[in-house]
């Protein structure tokens, strides 16, 4: 290859890579697979290695690290100060802000508003001259910031060169300053913290801290390794571009120029619509992969904005509707140990009560003993806890700097808090391999294990009325010694209990009666046999067609089923050999519970016929192929990309652009739990 040919190919590759970057990072709609993209990138790198004189600073290969290491960030004086915003906390506060603006103009206006998510990240300014990124800076104090151009250049969604993506030949502004928010996706933040913990390094408190810490690296090559992203939302100044009259036009203009703009920004004609849009963000807050701490409401018309001006440094024409806080610092009072069905003994943090977003929080989940060790947790520790949605809060980190010296180590229990048997420590068998603490007794000799088993069995069987507390209570009352007793509950005895009216009692009994007709795989799943999940329960039911056949099977027969492992086969045989289990199963059978499936030639009903599913991210309990197979067997069609024709998106951990797209299109999104329930229906 001559240098001329190489140069042609290099230009072509750069053009392609830049285009695919745009599809991937800005539009979230890639046209090529990651592997195809990597191949282009590798080819470019190889050519540039062979012809180093052809490397230019604009080459995408240079994005990973430009500028080298600085000892001090140069200062930047913002030509247009970077504003702060006034805050409101309620629809009433929003109304008052609106009234103040109207009153200031001294006449009745019909304002239009934009409602944007308030990203909890780091504000930055990007300056382009003749379409080329010449400077990127932090907000600093709003007047003076730090020049972090090399760091910002490593963020793939920040364009280095502006051009109209719609092919328009409008002039590129000779000078353009835009502002936006750099953030770290929540999934990336969690991954980063996990890696830091494994290396024994200090954790970041939240995605904003990790974004700030990553962006303000003196060595930009460290920034390049951190998965940062950006949303652009403000036009600070422009010379020589189109005449923009509104914020809405500015946002559309940003998109045309290849900037990344937050999804679902609304243009609203009245305050009620604004409130609805804000509420919509509050509702979706926990489902997003970026942290938002509010909504920003701006009066759309630039001319009106100019007339409204500022109070101090806050514009009258915009305000931030702040959402309830979700984090608080409190103290660890102690640990409660709960024993689950499988014998695991799990820690629950007992907290000094603290109010988070209007709710009093008294406990937080710690997941497992590994977490105690990873966080370096001690009794009396000052903790940062976070509450998202209605789930039980979790501990983010220990606030080391607030320790007082009163902290004492946490002792792992040597005996089971339920039955007193010795505890043992071994890796979890759920595939995570997290070290866990176990009770060495079986459920027939450990009350907490059996209570949890009864609850689990009921939940899988669709007996929603048997909540955790009720399952425990019935056990304590002696109504249930095991899950087999579920089918022999005495209506009169239940009615004699406090808070058991006829209506709720009959509803519960009907659910139990109805559960008798559930298919075999549901029963097998509900038994809670170690190593038997939804998928293997289904395989067993398909293969054996009856509980009796399965009980009679030996390890060889079970392990010979495609997809069943020996460990599971062994576990199944042991389960049915256990005399206690046999006694409970006898009760189940005698109660008339269905233990056989009819043998169907066509593979059973097709409840999902006509529905299109797209899968994204990693599921914990299913392989991708397996999940697709389960759906297909129920008549579903599997799509490869999200479109308006998609009915459901199943999103596992680290779901990417498909999830974002589904959110934008308003497609039903199922997490793994919902997917499992769908399979059980």
Residues forming contacts to Zn ion in the complex (CB under 5 A) are 416, 418-419, 421, 439, 441, 446
Spatial separation of the C-alpha atoms in residues 463 and 460, rounded to whole Å: 7
Does the annotation count 118 as an active-site position?
yes
Spatial separation of the C-alpha atoms in residues 152 and 532, rounded to whole Å: 49
- Tell me whether residue 417 or residue 533 sits nearer to Zn ion (CB atom): 417
Catalytic residue among 75, 103, 118, 586: 118
- Tell me whether residue 337 or residue 457 sits nearer to Zn ion (CB atom): 337
Least distance in Å: CB of 639 to Zn ion?
47
Least distance in Å: CB of 410 to Zn ion?
19
Least distance in Å: CB of 182 to Zn ion?
50
Least distance in Å: CB of 612 to Zn ion?
47
Least distance in Å: CB of 349 to Zn ion?
21
Least distance in Å: CB of 424 to Zn ion?
11
Least distance in Å: CB of 415 to Zn ion?
8
- Tell me whether residue 117 or residue 343 sits nearer to Zn ion (CB atom): 343
Spatial separation of the C-alpha atoms in residues 162 and 164, rounded to whole Å: 7
Q: Cα-flanking dihedrals φ and ψ of residue 534, to 5°?
A: -55, -50
- Tell me whether residue 442 or residue 654 sits nearer to Zn ion (CB atom): 442
Find all residues with CB under 8 Å of 112, minimum gap 6, and list them. Answer: 246, 248, 267, 268, 269, 299, 300, 301
- Tell me whether residue 129 or residue 468 sits nearer to Zn ion (CB atom): 468
Radius of gyration, CA atoms only, the chain: 30
Spatial separation of the C-alpha atoms in residues 435 and 427, rounded to whole Å: 4
- Tell me whether residue 412 or residue 421 sits nearer to Zn ion (CB atom): 421
Buried b (16+ CB within 10 A) or exposed e, 270-293: ebeebbebbeebeeebeebbbbbb
Spatial separation of the C-alpha atoms in residues 660 and 229, rounded to whole Å: 14
Return the closest-CA partner of residue 230 out of 265, 260, 254: 260
Q: Is the separation of the CB atoms in 125 and 82 below 8 Å?
A: yes
User: What is the DSSP-derived secondary structure letter of residue 203?
Assistant: P
Query: Kindly report the CA angle at 432 between 519 and 342, in degrees rounded to 5?
Result: 55
Q: Cα-flanking dihedrals φ and ψ of residue 6, to 5°?
A: -60, -45
Q: Is the separation of the CB atoms in 308 and 316 below 8 Å?
A: yes
Find all residues with CB under 8 Å of 267, minimum gap 6, and list them. Answer: 112, 113, 114, 248, 300
Place of tokens 């709609």: 29
Spatial separation of the C-alpha atoms in residues 116 and 278, rounded to whole Å: 8
- Tell me whether residue 215 or residue 339 sits nearer to Zn ion (CB atom): 339
Instruction: Tell me which residues are annotated as active site.
Output: 118
């Amino acid at each position: 290859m001559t240098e001329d040919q190489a140069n042609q190919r290099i230009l072509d590759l750069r053009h392609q890579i830049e285009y695919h970057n745009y599809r991937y990072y800005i539009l979230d709609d890639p046209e090529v697979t990651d592997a195809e993209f990597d191949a282009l990138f590798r080819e470019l790198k190889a050519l540039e290695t062979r012809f180093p004189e052809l490397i230019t600073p604009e080459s995408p290969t240079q994005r990973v690290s430009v500028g080298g290491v600085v000892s001090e960030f140069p200062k930047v004086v913002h030509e247009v100060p970077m504003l702060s915003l006034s805050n409101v906390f309620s629809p009433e506060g929003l109304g008052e802000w609106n009234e103040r603006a109207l009153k200031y103009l001294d006449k009745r206006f019909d304002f239009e508003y934009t409602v944007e998510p308030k990203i909890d990240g780091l504000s930055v300014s990007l300056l382009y001259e003749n379409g080329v990124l010449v400077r990127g800076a932090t907000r600093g104090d709003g007047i003076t910031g730090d020049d972090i151009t090399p760091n910002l250049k490593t963020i793939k969604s920040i364009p280095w060169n502006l051009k109209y993506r719609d092919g328009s030949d409008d002039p590129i502004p000779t000078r353009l300053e835009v502002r936006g928010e750099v953030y770290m996706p929540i999934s990336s933040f969690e991954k980063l913290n996990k890696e830091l913990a494994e290396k024994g390094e200090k954790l970041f408190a939240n995605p904003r801290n990790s974004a700030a810490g990553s962006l303000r690296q003196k060595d930009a090559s460290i920034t390049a390794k951190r998965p940062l992203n950006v949303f652009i939302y403000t036009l600070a100044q422009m010379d020589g571009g189109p005449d923009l009259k509104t914020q809405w036009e500015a946002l559309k203009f940003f998109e045309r120029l290849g900037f990344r703009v937050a999804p679902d920004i609304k243009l609203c004609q009245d305050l009620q619509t604004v409130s609805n849009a804000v509420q919509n963000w509050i509702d979706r807050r926990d489902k997003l992969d970026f942290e938002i701490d509010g909504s920003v409401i701006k009066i759309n018309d630039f001319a009106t904005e100019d007339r409204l001006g500022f109070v101090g440094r806050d514009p009258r024409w915009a305000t931030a509707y702040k959402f309830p806080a979700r984090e608080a610092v409190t103290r660890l009072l102690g640990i409660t140990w709960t024993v689950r069905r499988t014998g695991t003994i799990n820690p629950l943090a007992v907290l000094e009560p603290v109010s988070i977003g209007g709710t009093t929080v008294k406990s937080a989940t710690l997941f497992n003993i590994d977490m105690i060790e990873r966080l370096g947790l001690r009794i009396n520790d000052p903790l940062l806890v976070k509450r998202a949605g209605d789930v039980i809060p979790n501990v983010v980190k220990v606030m080391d700097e607030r320790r007082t010296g009163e902290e004492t180590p946490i002792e792992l229990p040597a005996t089971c808090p339920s039955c007193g048997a010795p505890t043992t420590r071994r890796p979890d068998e759920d595939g995570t391999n997290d070290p866990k603490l176990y009770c060495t007794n079986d459920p027939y000799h450990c009350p907490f294990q059996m209570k949890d088993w009864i609850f689990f069995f009921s939940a899988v069987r669709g007996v929603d009325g048997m909540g955790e507390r009720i399952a425990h209570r019935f056990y304590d009352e002696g109504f249930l010694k095991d899950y087999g007793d579920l089918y022999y509950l005495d209506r009169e005895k239940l009615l004699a209990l406090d808070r058991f009216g006829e209506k709720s009692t009959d509803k519960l009994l009907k659910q139990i009666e109805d559960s008798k007709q559930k298919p075999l795989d549901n029963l097998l799943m509900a038994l809670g046999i170690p190593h038997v999940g939804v998928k293997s329960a289904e395989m067993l039911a398909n293969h054996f067609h009856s509980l009796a056949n399965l009980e009679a099977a030996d390890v060889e027969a079970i392990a010979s089923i495609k997809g069943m492992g020996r460990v599971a086969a062994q576990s199944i045989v042991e389960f049915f050999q256990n005399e206690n289990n046999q006694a409970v199963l006898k009760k189940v059978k005698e109660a008339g519970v269905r233990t056989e499936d009819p043998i169907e030639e066509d593979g059973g009903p097709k409840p999902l016929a006509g529905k299109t599913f797209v899968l994204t991210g990693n599921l914990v309990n299913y392989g991708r192929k397996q999940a697709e197979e389960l759906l297909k067997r129920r008549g579903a069609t599997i799509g490869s990309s999200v479109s308006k024709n998609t009915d459901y998106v199943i999103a596992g951990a680290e779901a990417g652009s498909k999830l974002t797209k589904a959110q934008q299109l308003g497609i039903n999104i199922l997490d793994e739990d919902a997917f499992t329930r769908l399979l059980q229906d």
